[in-house]
Amino acid sequence: MKKYLRPLLLSSILFLLPGCVYVISKDVRREVTRDLSLKEVIKNPDAYKGKVVLWGGVIIESKNLKEGTQVVVLEKDLNSWGRPKESDESQGRFIVFQSGYLDTSIYRRDREITVAGEITGKKVLPIDEIEYTYPVLSPREIHLWSEEKKAEYPYWHDPWWWYYPYPYWRHPYWYPYRPWYP
């Protein structure tokens, strides 16, 4: 028994490890300033220039400009894999400015994104009737999460609900499989 236990244990560990991989590389995560929140940076983005942060959220809009692509993100907390959590809480908004081209039909509204990037400054843009200060990130790594398809289950009514208080062998589906039952 012992000679089969070790290979079984090793193969199960190797099988499960790829599912626990973080989406941002280890080298970039070493540079990240962990205790720096978006709420702090929004107060004075220029004071944190050059710091590398790891933030994520939901894309609000993306635009292709002459200089590059601007992606506006509503910040969300990240789970243990780096994916934005589904919640109604946010510390604010930030801009990811990629100097190259990003296709805005792929980086579109309501897609989840995780970004490790360097704070390069701020940009003041209007939101309805107010002026909002966005911290601007120059990305080192971007991970765009695939869209999860949520299954819709139609309402189903069990026609045999009145049989459930009785043991399973009294259920009508079991009769053909138990011919000895009267």
Specify the pairing of strand 93-98 against strand 52-64: unpaired
Considering only residues 11 and 113, tell me which one the structure prediction assigns the higher pLDDT: 113
Average pLDDT over residues 46-50: 92
Q: What is the mean pLDDT of the chain?
A: 82
Which tens digit of pLDDT belongs to each residue from 152-182?
A: 666 555 555 554 455 555 555 554 554 555 5
Q: Is the pLDDT assigned to residue 103 strictly greater than 60?
A: yes
Q: What is the pLDDT of residue 98?
A: 94
Q: What predicted TM-score, i.e. pTM, was given to this entire model?
A: 0.71
Categorise residue 121: left if φ over 0, alpha if ψ from -120 to 50, beta otherwise. left
Q: Is the pLDDT assigned to residue 15 strictly greater than 60?
A: no
Q: What is the pLDDT of residue 140?
A: 94
> Exposed (0-12), middle (13-18) or buried (19+): which is 50, by Cβ within 10 Å?
exposed
What type of residue sits at position 170?
A: R
Q: What is the pLDDT of residue 116?
A: 95
b (16+ CB within 10 A) / e for 7-20? eeeeeeeeeeeeee
Q: What is the pLDDT of residue 148?
A: 75
Q: What is the pLDDT of residue 99?
A: 92
Average pLDDT over residues 64-75: 95
Domain ranges of the chain: 20-144
> How many Å separate Cα 77 from the centre of its chain?
9
Give the C-alpha separation, 121 to 41, whole Å: 10
CATH of domain 20-144: 2.40.50.140
